[in-house]
Amino acid sequence: MPNKFTQTKYGKGLKEFILENYTIQRLVDFGDLKVFGNVTTYPSIMVIRKARPNKRTKGTYVRVKSLAPDIEKRICDHQDATE
């Protein structure tokens, strides 16, 4: 999902639904890193668990500041291992 989703007012109903019905375990924000080649997409990954949130549960926010030079190879290797 675009990281702008967490920073703007659009999608308010969906955000409320997620916050009321799911536990956000991790939010990984890639900012303006070129994750998909030379395309600027501002991607982020939200990992959620189907469980109502409670006061004891804390999620983790991760801001990725740089990509490993071999990121594409790592992804391909992981895909090959899981197939």
Question: Rounded to an integer, what distance in angstroms lies between the CA atom of residue 74 and that of residue 65?
Answer: 18
Sheet holding 60-63, edge to edge: 44-49, 23-29, 60-63
Number of residues that make up the chain? 83
Number of domains observed in the structure of the chain: 1
- Give residue for tokens 């955000």: 15
Domain range for 44 is 3-82
Q: Could you tell me the pTM of the whole model?
A: 0.73
pLDDT per residue over 17-65, tens digit each?
A: 999 999 999 999 998 888 888 888 899 999 999 998 888 888 899 999 8
Q: Which of 4, 9, 13, 71 is nearest to 43 (CA)?
A: 4
